[in-house]
Structure 1
Amino acid sequence: MARLAIRCVFATCLFSPVFSLPEACTGICTNSHDPSIIVRPDGTYFRFSTGGRIATHTAPAITGPWKYQGPALPNGSTIKLRGNQDLWAPDASQVDGVYYLYYSVSTFGSQNSAIGLARSTTLDAGTWTDLGSTGLTSDASKPYNAIDSSLIIINGMRLLTFGSFWNGLHQISMDTPPVRVESGAQPRQLSYDRSDKAEEGPILFADGGYYYLFFSKGSCCGYDRNRPAVGREYRIMVCRSTTPTGGFVDKSGVACTSGGGALVLGSHEWVYGPGGQGVYRDSFHGPVLYYHYVDTRVGFADRQKRFGWNKLDFLDGWPAIITSLSTV
């Protein structure tokens, strides 16, 4: 998943991963918590992110320069839950010529959550119509938390993958068009770590006959107030399966539902706590992993989180970041 370097201290040598630094980003590269990237046919890149009623940025390339365009939902969400004016974890998709923007309504540490949806024909700020709840909600009676959703369409199936903490990551089938949960559909568990429940932000990506489940693990936020133990901060993990609906395992064959997960990207040099990731196939760069992180040379506050990205290769059937000479 990453190159290994040998680090020796007092004649004791350890293998530690060496990751490439993020590729170049210009313009507004902060305001990027939980980014979602989508490219319009005219070549305009859109970046949606948590906060500011879904902050919207655009650029002519993934490298930037990124410009702020305003909130996607200036009036917040119509979902009647706390947090409906502070929307989380957007996910942008195009389905049959229409753009859908899934988002989460919740508060930190709460299971009283819902996944909502907005719709647009252009992606531009000010053009989104809020459709409210998708019908996927959670409370203390549910074995999941209904946040951090992402859509994938495979062989006619419209699958929404979601989840955070509690009993891990789940998936549910959506109707056609994917504005509501399919009638009678029940969530199925894709990943769970009984000893460390800090898993969230799942996204599926298909390549070479496999479906890759990327997810964030560890403590995501508030690093300026209380940093977790070393190695417990946000990091990006992956499992894979030959089907998009289950059977995900890591590189050692450990089931994702039994704590499995292979490390794709962790803290390194001045990059700390990378996560909130997405993966897509760029027309110029090929497969791309993007995420937020904090730059330790600048500060650890949530508002200082930056947008990062790297090119991916799938070596021996597993994703690895491609080493580049360019850095931010």
Structure 2
Amino acid sequence: MFSRYLGLPALLFAALAHGYANPIGCSGECVVYDPTVIRRSSDGKYFRFSTGNEISYVTASSLEGPWTAVGSVLPDGSSIDLAGNTDLWVSFTSLSQSLSDSIADPVELTLFHFQAPDVHYIDDLYYVYYAVSTFGSQSSAIGLATSATMELGTWTDHGSVGIASSSSKIYNAIDPSLIEVDGTYYMQFGSFWDDIYQVEMNSAATKTSGSASYNIAYYPDGTHPEEGSYMYQYGDYYYLFYSWGICCDYSDALPASGQEYHIKVCRSTSATGNFVDQDGTACTDGGGTIVLESHGNVYGPGGQGVYDDPTYGTVLYYAYTDITIGYADDQKQFGFNVIDWSTGWPVV
């Protein structure tokens, strides 16, 4: 507990030094992990999906809420034949918080099995991509569920999209994120190990195209703690957002300052590679410009996405620990900030 309060002055200093805005208020069901957001075309209702409870989701009339619980996308689990295809909302075990500790294999720090959904509207259907995995394992695969309305009980599970990993791979097939570029779909994925990968999808975005995946972001030191990528096009550039650091288990002990979750970005004129940070360092060589980090009452923001909202404009949304509420993983809150693009780089 003592180390926690030693960290608070550093958070306050970060807020003063960088001037991050506080998250825009959230009401209703605001506890969330790995959020993804979409607005239904027929009536403008917002839907927010998140990790846990077989992909839990909530709805609201605006981005700030009040959010109301709906249920689970796949209450009976996934058809993917891997351990973790029916998940439970379970406690987190206590793990070392230092990236310098000796770890035989880099691991995901959460015990959720249905992980990091990603929602899109394609050909009159709502697509929710998800990952099936178990704690500390590369036995992972990315799946897809679809619905015409997103109403409870209307989802169809399509199983794996063809992206999977095992101990023989140098990546972990979780944290899916799709982007469409001039009629071609690409999937970003990956967590720890060799970090962020990309693969081309078929024309319906339901399976891989058959092309090999390739690396687009890599941190060469320590446990390579990059994950949760999200790509967004603004102007002439494609921006690769991702989460860096230790995501979880803050209630036992906080990581060393700066090692907790925070959000970084690189950009490129191509969606398929050559991403660099604001200093020109390649994203495949440890590059990454910080977009949002701990400040004030906000600790460990990450699991982010970008959304074009009709009220606020382009926003960065994410999950974070509100230190006035608590540090437990099941207390993480939904937050979002308006993005200022005036410098050519996202500023919140």
Matched, 1:218 2:219: no
Shift in Å, 1:156: 1.1
Aligned to 1:186: 212
Shift in Å, 1:226: 3.1
Aligned to 1:84: 85
Q: Secondary structure at 2:284's aligned position in 1?
A: helix
Q: Would you say the 8 A contact 1:23–1:63 is kept in 2? A: yes
Q: Would you say the 8 A contact 1:56–1:125 is kept in 2? A: no
Aligned to 2:135: 108
Shift in Å, 1:313: 1.3
TM-score normalized by structure 2? 0.86
Q: Secondary structure at 1:257's aligned position in 2?
A: helix
Aligned to 2:39: 39
Q: Which residue among 291, 310, 318 is the counterpart of 1:283?
A: 310
Give the Cα–Cα distance (whole angstroms) in 1 for the partners of residues 168 and 287 of structure 2.
26
| 1:201-212 aligned within 5 A | 201-212=228-239
For residues 180-227 of structure 1, give each alpha carbon's deviation from its aligned partner in whole angstroms, at most 9, with x where no partner exists: 1112x1111110011140000001000011000000000011111232
Give the Cα–Cα distance (whole angstroms) in 2 for the partners of residues 142 and 222 of structure 1.
27
Structure 1, unaligned stretches of length 5 or more?
1-7, 10-14, 322-328
Deviates more, 1:101-110 or 1:270-279: 101-110
Structure 2, unaligned stretches of length 5 or more?
1-8, 11-15, 88-113
Q: Secondary structure at 1:317's aligned position in 2?
A: coil
Q: Would you say the 8 A contact 1:58–1:69 is kept in 2? A: yes
Give the Cα–Cα distance (whole angstroms) in 2 for the partners of residues 180 and 226 of structure 1.
41
Q: Would you say the 8 A contact 1:144–1:166 is kept in 2? A: yes
Q: Would you say the 8 A contact 1:289–1:312 is kept in 2? A: yes
Q: Secondary structure at 2:341's aligned position in 1?
A: strand
Q: Secondary structure at 2:126's aligned position in 1?
A: strand
Give the Cα–Cα distance (whole angstroms) in 1 for the partners of residues 281 and 326 of structure 2.
36
Matched, 1:52 2:53: yes
Shift in Å, 1:107: 1.5
Give the Cα–Cα distance (whole angstroms) in 1 for the partners of residues 227 and 117 of structure 2.
13
Give the Cα–Cα distance (whole angstroms) in 2 for the partners of residues 125 and 256 of structure 1.
40
Give the Cα–Cα distance (whole angstroms) in 1 for the partners of residues 278 and 198 of structure 2.
22
Give the Cα–Cα distance (whole angstroms) in 2 for the partners of residues 286 and 126 of structure 1.
32
Q: Which residue among 273, 276, 290 is the counterpart of 1:246?
A: 273
Shift in Å, 1:24: 1.2
| 1:124-139 aligned within 5 A | 124-139=151-166
Amino acid aligned to 1:191:
A
Aligned to 2:74: 73
Matched, 1:63 2:64: yes
Q: Would you say the 8 A contact 1:205–1:213 is kept in 2? A: yes
For residues 223-278 of structure 1, give each alpha carbon's deviation from its aligned partner in whole angstroms, at most 9, with x where no partner exists: 11232111100000000000100000000000000000000000111111100000
Give the Cα–Cα distance (whole angstroms) in 2 for the partners of residues 282 and 261 of structure 1.
26
Aligned to 1:195: 221
Give the Cα–Cα distance (whole angstroms) in 2 for the partners of residues 16 and 230 of structure 1.
15
Q: Secondary structure at 2:192's aligned position in 1?
A: coil
Instruction: Choose between structure 1 and 2: higher strand proportion.
Output: 1
Give the Cα–Cα distance (whole angstroms) in 2 for the partners of residues 308 and 124 of structure 1.
24
Aligned to 1:255: 282
How many residue pairs align between the two structures? 307
Q: Would you say the 8 A contact 2:184–2:203 is kept in 1? A: no
Give the Cα–Cα distance (whole angstroms) in 1 for the partners of residues 253 and 153 of structure 2.
37
Instruction: Choose between structure 1 and 2: higher helix proportion.
Output: 2
For residues 270-313 of structure 1, give each alpha carbon's deviation from its aligned partner in whole angstroms, at most 9, with x where no partner exists: 11110000001112211110000011111111100110001101
Amino acid aligned to 1:37:
V
Give the Cα–Cα distance (whole angstroms) in 2 for the partners of residues 168 and 29 of structure 1.
29
Give the Cα–Cα distance (whole angstroms) in 2 for the partners of residues 199 and 158 of structure 1.
22
User: Percent identical across equivalent pairs?
Assistant: 50
Structure 1 segments, 4+ long, off by >4 Å, are none
Shift in Å, 1:16: 3.4
Q: Which residue among 161, 164, 171 is the counterpart of 2:191?
A: 164
Q: Which residue among 205, 210, 232 is the counterpart of 2:259?
A: 232
Shift in Å, 1:176: 1.9
For residues 13-43 of structure 1, give each alpha carbon's deviation from its aligned partner in whole angstroms, at most 9, with x where no partner exists: xx8323111001111111x100000001111
RMSD: 1.4
For residues 124-162 of structure 1, give each alpha carbon's deviation from its aligned partner in whole angstroms, at most 9, with x where no partner exists: 221111111111000111121100011111101100011
Amino acid aligned to 2:338:
K
Give the Cα–Cα distance (whole angstroms) in 2 for the partners of residues 166 and 151 of structure 1.
21
Q: Secondary structure at 2:330's aligned position in 1?
A: helix
